[in-house]
Amino acid sequence: MNDKEQFETVGEGLLVRAPAKINLSLLVAGQRADGFHELETIMAKVNWYDEILIEPGQKAGIELVCKGPHWAPDGKENLVYRAGELLLNSCRRRDDVKITLTKNIPAGSGLGSASSDAAATLMGLNEYLDIQLPKKQLAKPASQLGSDVAFFLNGPLAFCTGKGEKIKKLEENFNFLAFLVLPDVSVSTKKVYANYEHNQPLYEKLSSQIKGYIKKNRIDLVVKMCANMLERSCFSLVKSIAELKAKIESLGIRPCCLSGSGSTMFCLIESGDEEIARQYKHRLEEKIGCKSIIASNNRW
C-alpha cells in the first residue's frame, strides 16, 4: 500500500484522502469535571484512506452521497455533512456542493475514520472553494466536531492531550510497517469510557516512562510498551476481541496492541520487512479467518 497525495484534481472536482490513525500509546489521566476523560496519547497516521470527492452541486446546499465497502450515514448525522455545514455557515457562504464519501475504513474500529473524514472535508472545502482559511482557523470548527479532528488537520505523528484536541507535533521521522487486524465488530467508544475504571498508579508509572522516551525521540520504545489503558474496558465489554488477541499472539504475532477504544489491533514490524507482514496475514487468514491489512506510516 503506497502513500498517495492528500489532494488530487478529478475533473471539475477535488479528491481529498482521509487517512486512518493508530494510537501508539493511550493513557487516561483521570476523569474531568466536564465528564470527559483527560488523555495522553501518541497518534500516528497510516496510509489507508477514506476518500472525499467534492464537486459542483446540482442541488441547493450540501448533497452528501456515501458509498464504498463500509456503511456510513448519508444525512446530517454524518460528520462530513456537519463539517461542511459548519465551515460554510461560519464563513457565511451559500455554495452548492456535492460531496461523495467513499468509506473504506470501518466505523467503530479505533482508527478515527469519522474524525479524519471531517478534517478532510474542512481542508477540502477550504481548498476547493478558495476560502483561504489558515489551518489555525480550521481548528475552531474542528474542535466542535470531535476530539480527534484537530489531529487530522496536522500530523502525521503527534502527542495529544486534553480530550485529544491539544496537539503537540512530534518531529521525529518515525517510519514503521503496521499489520492491522480488523475484527468484524464495531465498538462503542462511549460505552468503553463509561465502563472504564481508573488506575492512577498505573497512569503515573506509564506516563513518566513514555514522556522520558519522547524526550529521547524513542517512539520505538513507546510502541514496545503496548500501553493502552482502555484495553481492559474494551475487552470486558467485547470478550471476543480479548479472545482474538490471545489467539493472534499464540501465532507469534506480537506485541498485539489495541488502537483507540477498539476494535482494531495492530502489530508494528520493527524491521519493516513486508515479507514478515505477508506471512502474518497468511497465518491469520489460515488459522483464524480474520481480516487484516498491511499499512505504513503516512507522510502527511
Closest-CA residue to 44 (of 233, 207, 256, 220): 220
List the catalytic residues. Answer: 21, 148
| One-letter-per-residue 3-state SS of 232-269 | HHHHHHCHHHHHHHHHHHHCCCCCCEECCCCCCEEEEE
Q: Scan for cell 493502552, then name that residue.
A: 228
CA distance 99 to 254: 40
Distances 155 to 150, 152, 295 between C-alpha atoms, Å: 9, 6, 17
Q: Letter for the amino acid at 184? A: D
The residue behind cell 497465518 is: 283
- For the CA atoms of the chain, what is the radius of gyration? 19
**Three-state SS at 113:** helix
Confirm if 220 and 53 have CB atoms less than 8 A apart. no
Among 207, 147, 170, 141, which residue's Cα sits nearest to residue 45?
Answer: 170
Contact 100, 65 (CB under 8 A): yes
Q: At what angle do helices 135-145 and 79-90 cross, to 10 degrees?
A: 130
The DSSP element (H or E) to which 135 belongs, if any, is: helix 135-145
Set of cell numbers at residue 84: 461542511
